[in-house]
Structure 1
Amino acid sequence: MRALYEFFSGGGMVRAAMRDEWNCLFANDISEKKAAAYTANWGGEHLKIKNITDIKPIDLPGRADLAWASFPCQDLSLAGNGVGLNGERSGTFWAFWKLMMALKKEGRNPSLIALENVYGTLTSHDGKDFESIVRAIVAGGYRLGAMVIDAARFLPQSRPRLFIVAVNANVAVPEQLLASGPSKTWHPSGLVHAFESMPKRLQSRWIWWDLPLPVDKPKELKDLIEDNPKDVQWHTKEETKRLCSMMTPINRLKVDRAIEQASQTGEQVVGTIYRRMRQGLQRAEARFDGVSGCLRTPSGGSSLQTIIVINQKIVRSRLLSRREAARLMGLDDDYKLPERYSEAYHLTGDGVAVPVVNHLAQHIFNPIIDTIKAIELADEAA
């Protein structure tokens, strides 16, 4: 079976995406609370709860085919503090990379390395942070490519994220995985600009991954909503009115149109609301396009996401439930969530969308590793 190391593992959403086809040899996170959720779902015998700077090669058993690292985004986020890879949190990339290079000295570095982070990674410090990551990967003996994948292609959540996939330079990548140039689907202008801004030496080690579109149409937000969640209460009429009073005329018009739609069709209309600071005022911004806003952790200063549900002309609102947040990340309903609301919301908001990881596995990771193993078997037979 293919083998995986999962760094910055959180609640094990990469594990959730790959559990049937990959064996996780090692997982790591610094958070005791997230580790508790990981253990509840996947067991803890292979989990190390410590700072990645304290992880040593001896802690990593065997040799993994893939090392996945969703390193912290706070210092790279467009809404963050701007310190980038020099920051205490996002700078943990360097500790991860040091570990990968230590494994290389032992002859057991992974054939594949995947990194996931926010879109702001491309523009942090005018692109210098992204170039630094690419430079380190190339110097480490890998070729690489990147994609910006929005979870909205798989789930009813707007969640664009940068995915960097690096492959050992000695590995022959199957031709069907390679594109001749960028695609509009996975390689937006910001990524293309970042590539074109790099030195030619780094460009020569670049791969334009040819990733197919998902076959299945994603569910809509209304399909994931609980009728009677136990962990959140419906707002009072007064609270809902106050929330609507915080809207600009444009956003209030969205609500009015949703009420009209519900009245005409007799069907329930579901949307989401985020409260944001706009020009010194707190505003409520609504959307009714069948997709939720990006789940964010409140530690970054964002408000919790609110659900607005309209039946006929009755408008109700409440916070997103724990299970709804998990569904928006693609977690099955049998996934065990923390009992405390804040811990569950933090766990999911910090995670990676499960079907996105699975899509990468099916169309990039699995074919490459299977090709490597087939060649190894043929060499052994010879």
Structure 2
Amino acid sequence: MRTVPKLAAVREQTALPLEPMAVEFFAGIGLARLGLQQAGFRVAWSNDIEPAKRDMYAGNFKDPEESHTFVLGDVTHVRGSDMPADIALAWASSPCVDVSLAGARAGMQGARSSTFYQFTRVLRELGEDARPEVVTLENVVGLATSHGGEDLAAAIAELNDLGYSVDVLTLDARWFVPQSRPRLFVVGARNAPPDQPDANPKLRPEWLQAPFADRSLVTHRALLPDIGPAAVGTLATIVEPVPSGDKQWWDPERTAAFTSSLSPVQAERLAVLRKSNRFAYRTAYRRTRKGVPMWEIRADDIAGCLRTARGGSSKQALVEVGRGKLRVRWMTAREYARLMGADDYELDGIRANQALFGFGDAVCVPAVAWLAEHYLMPLVEGKLQEKPVLDSTSEVADAGA
């Protein structure tokens, strides 16, 4: 397996002529870029509509002007003629709110998720000769079932029309970091590898098979390395030390309100942890059940899916419990960064809520790095193996266990 550099080292190298070239649409705070760079891509152009995310992006990468272009604004204003030459990979983490399981499920024609068609418009304007060899769309797994699967089929058909055969697979952040965060990846290839119908059932489970059975679509299933078991660690491995007297810890009154809102099942779960002779860490969410706001504590020792304030249970609280004691506080921006595999992301001068929003709306870095190293880069280089073997040195956990 390729040795993956520390993120700080990657940032120091951003001015170097890394090849092949990638561009990223809906770039957010740049976590996809970090993963792509770890696999050897040079990200030369990025776009996002939100100034707060652009500010985080710029503060983290500090690109020389000649090495990278960031276009701040609505993707509807981007034209194919604006793009750099010799693009090998186009990445799009298009907005997921309209197909999220936590959202209204308006589908790909929703006001935000329909920006996917602006992405493909730009690809179309590039023309066949300048179109990238590989395109990748990252989204929530809800895209697979949105409108009975019709939205995913429409996205695949759109990429087919641009000359791409399409593969669809899922990766969960919990295979890399202690966070449950399943995501869907749609990979389009102009020169697709042979279709392997039985390849990687963990990456293409039964609920993701419908597109491959649709004969109106041009699809393939690349045979990739198995994601092998390795120790990812627990929530305790990402916890930032916060002194006992720090005001981030909730006061007794707020902590009492937290415990009083727990259901009997949740209260019993907390009581068992409290009796332990060692401290444990859990995340907790605020839910509304039958119109009543309540707190719920995860049963396992990983974080739930980090979210933004725009959908679902937004901020997660950290619960430290054991030896008869209980402390609760909101998770910190650094803990969010670690849960996204961006351990040393630059956070100086960034407001806490700005950081939480940016990470909650991003993609897990090591998931992107794994996909880029084992799939996207070999596709670009024409070296995708037909019979890859399990890489026993991979720092990836088997989340199915």
- Confirm or deny a common fold (TM above 0.5): yes
d(CA) in 2 for partners of 1:194, 1:242 = 48
Q: Which gives a bigger RCO, structure 1 or 2 (Cα 8 Å, sep 6+)?
A: 2
Work out which of the residue numbers 309, 314, 318 in structure 2 matches 1:303: 314
Query: Do the aligned partners of 2:56 and 2:350 also contact (CA within 8 Å) in 1?
Result: no
Q: Does 1:118 align with 2:140?
A: yes
Match of 1:240 in 2: 255
- Deviations, residues 15-42 of structure 1 (Å, cap 9, x unaligned): 1112251111110001111001111112
Q: Does 1:34 align with 2:63?
A: no
Q: 1:104 to 1:126 in 2, by over 3 A?
A: same
Query: Do the aligned partners of 2:169 and 2:185 also contact (CA within 8 Å) in 1?
Result: yes
Q: Does 1:142 align with 2:164?
A: yes
Q: CA RMSD in A?
A: 2.1
Query: Do the aligned partners of 2:200 and 2:223 also contact (CA within 8 Å) in 1?
Result: no
d(CA) in 2 for partners of 1:284, 1:332 = 28
Match of 1:154 in 2: 176
Match of 1:357 in 2: 368
Q: 1:297 to 1:336 in 2, by over 3 A?
A: same
Match of 1:48 in 2: 71
d(CA) in 2 for partners of 1:51, 1:76 = 20
Match of 1:273 in 2: 284
Match of 1:206 in 2: 220
Equivalent positions of 1:1-382 (< 5 A) are 1-20=19-38, 21-43=40-62, 45=65, 46-105=69-128, 107-168=129-190, 171=191, 173=193, 179-181=196-198, 183-196=200-213, 198=214, 200-202=215-217, 204-214=218-228, 216-228=230-242, 233-261=248-276, 263=277, 267-336=278-347, 339-371=350-382
Runs (4 or more) in structure 1 with deviation over 4 Å come to 229-232
Deviation of 1:328 (Å): 0.5
Match of 1:379 in 2: none
Question: Normalization by structure 2: what TM-score?
Answer: 0.85
Deviation of 1:287 (Å): 1.5
Secondary structure in 2 matching 1:85: coil
Query: Do the aligned partners of 1:232 and 1:318 also contact (CA within 8 Å) in 2?
Result: no
Question: Normalization by structure 1: what TM-score?
Answer: 0.89
Q: 1:160 to 1:292 in 2, by over 3 A?
A: same
Matched residues, number? 360
Query: Do the aligned partners of 1:273 and 1:306 also contact (CA within 8 Å) in 2?
Result: yes
Larger displacement relative to structure 2 (239-248 or 63-72): 239-248
Query: Do the aligned partners of 1:231 and 1:322 also contact (CA within 8 Å) in 2?
Result: no
Q: 1:143 to 1:165 in 2, by over 3 A?
A: same
Structure 1 unaligned spans of 5+: 374-382
Query: Do the aligned partners of 2:181 and 2:305 also contact (CA within 8 Å) in 1?
Result: yes
Query: Do the aligned partners of 1:144 and 1:166 also contact (CA within 8 Å) in 2?
Result: yes
Q: In structure 2, what residue type is equivalent to 1:354?
A: V
Match of 1:380 in 2: none
Q: 1:357 to 1:349 in 2, by over 3 A?
A: same
Deviation of 1:7 (Å): 0.7
d(CA) in 1 for partners of 2:235, 2:196 = 33
Structure 2 unaligned spans of 5+: 1-18, 385-401
d(CA) in 1 for partners of 2:310, 2:120 = 26
Query: Do the aligned partners of 1:6 and 1:28 also contact (CA within 8 Å) in 2?
Result: yes
d(CA) in 1 for partners of 2:154, 2:349 = 37
Secondary structure in 2 matching 1:327: helix
Q: Percent identity?
A: 33
Larger displacement relative to structure 2 (6-15 or 41-50): 41-50
d(CA) in 1 for partners of 2:290, 2:206 = 29
Deviation of 1:288 (Å): 4.2
d(CA) in 1 for partners of 2:308, 2:160 = 33
Match of 2:398 in 1: none
Deviation of 1:208 (Å): 4.6
Q: 1:224 to 1:349 in 2, by over 3 A?
A: same
Query: Do the aligned partners of 1:37 and 1:337 also contact (CA within 8 Å) in 2?
Result: no
Deviation of 1:215 (Å): 5.4
Q: In structure 1, what residue type is equivalent to 2:308?
A: T
